Amino acid sequence: MNLFDNILKHDETLFKNELSLDYEYLPHVLKYREDQQQHIATIIKPLFQGRMGSNILITGKPGIGKTAATKHVLREMEQYSDKIKGLYVNCWKYDTAYKIIVELCQQLGYKWVQNKKTNELMKEIAKILNKKAAVIILDEVDKLKEEQIIYFILEDIYKKCIIMVSNEKDFISYLDERTRSRLMPEILTFEAYTYKETYDILNERKISAFYEDIILDEDFERVVEKTSELKDIRSGLFLLKESGNAAEIRSSRKIENIDVIKAISKLSHFQASKISLDDEEKTLLEIIKGKNGSKSSEIFKEYQIKFNKSDRTFRRKVSKLRDNNLIESKDGKDDQGNLVPFLHFKKL
Ligand SMILES: Nc1ncnc2c1ncn2[C@@H]1O[C@H](COP(=O)(O)OP(=O)(O)OP(=O)(O)O)[C@@H](O)[C@H]1O
Ligand SMILES: [Mg+2]
């Protein structure tokens, strides 16, 4: 063996298929979510018999396969039969009724979108979908700026299942009463993966992403441990990719311990960027930071001056900040001795 054999040549790479470390990548088989996929399939099954379907809200922490599982079910459903039309929309990307409807038109191949209003387009969509049945996935549904789209779908499309996905388990309680009472979704909670499950999932991705024997077991296990601690597969994919990049930068043919350590050191940055807040949420966080430890009602007053939004919207935004560990809500006594929530800013 030559002293320089371990050097990666300029046109060489450690990655066999870097795409398989992509967060959007959908593996052919989705292990450890069989029960949940089966559950979602059960909700859809009545549609195959020409009956009405029901609705479901899937919740759980980030990076645990909610999107992957729902997309998988949709893929299998389409492979099984063309009786039901499957539609998938990410409500973060398409956050208004109009944007969602235009996206649905696109997926349905309806081209005469220009110069039509939202409700006119909705009628066209209903005309197409009411010839069959539809499964509509509204992913990241809590990012919707206009919930009226849910109402449209509920009212205008007859045989359908609405599958909503959200990290916010309280999402339904923030909806308008009219929508809520028609929607009545079943709730399916995804739990985080165990260590062994995390190991197997990442191992599969490692095998398809890298050439053989690129990383020692003990270094790979370090990646699994960190991922398991964070309970988020996406951070494991980040670590694998960043470790590979770090090794390539050193022109090494192997990923070594120092590469994994380097990748882990970048994690906090990745995690901070993962919490995506809209402008209103960012401003609310700033208000809470400025009035740290104030009564929730005082913060609401300032928020309302800026955004003129309802108490319901405010509570929803506060819950999101709390769920993401950015703030803390602690009960305390006000001047009259009543127990009320006080909001505290938390450092990342
Ligand atoms: N069981 C699994 N097998 C293989 N890959 C998985 C599995 N579960 C999750 N993944 C992968 O982990 C990544 C994150 O999963 P996914 O996007 O489904 O998370 P999520 O629960 O929707 O998160 P978020 O709430 O942030 O949207 C994806 O790349 C996905 O393919
Ligand atoms: Mg998702």
From the alpha carbon of 167, which atom of ligand 1 is closest? 25
At 9, phi and psi to the nearest 5? -75, 160
Distance from residue 285's CA to the centre of ligand 1 (Å): 28
pTM of the model: 0.81
Architecture of domain 34-189: 3-Layer(aba) Sandwich (3.40)
Helix, strand, coil percentages (3-state) for the chain, rounded to 5, are 50, 15, 35
Write out the H or E segment, with its range, that includes residue 315. Answer: helix 311-323
Beta strands across the sheet bearing 133-139: 84-90, 133-139, 160-166, 56-59, 186-189
Ligand 1 proximity of 67 Cβ (cutoff 6 Å): yes
Alpha carbons 173 and 228: distance in angstroms, whole number: 31
The residues spanned by each domain of the chain are 34-189, 193-273, 279-345
Look at the domain 279-345 and name its fold.
Arc Repressor Mutant, subunit A (1.10.10)
What's the pLDDT at 289? 92
The CATH classification number of 193-273 equals 1.10.8.60
What's the pLDDT at 348? 52
Averaged pLDDT in 10-residue chunks for the chain of 348 residues? 68 89 88 96 94 94 95 94 95 93 96 93 96 96 90 95 92 89 94 97 96 94 95 95 94 94 86 74 92 95 92 89 85 91 82
Alpha carbons 291 and 126: distance in angstroms, whole number: 48
Q: Which two tokens stand for residue 284?
A: 């609310």
What's the pLDDT at 23? 87
At 121, phi and psi to the nearest 5? -65, -35
Measuring CA to CA, which residue among 94, 119, 122, 92 is closest to residue 108?
122
What's the pLDDT at 284? 94
List of E strands, 160-258? 160-166, 186-189
Write out the H or E segment, with its range, that includes residue 320. Answer: helix 311-323
Distance from residue 340's CA to the centre of ligand 1 (Å): 38
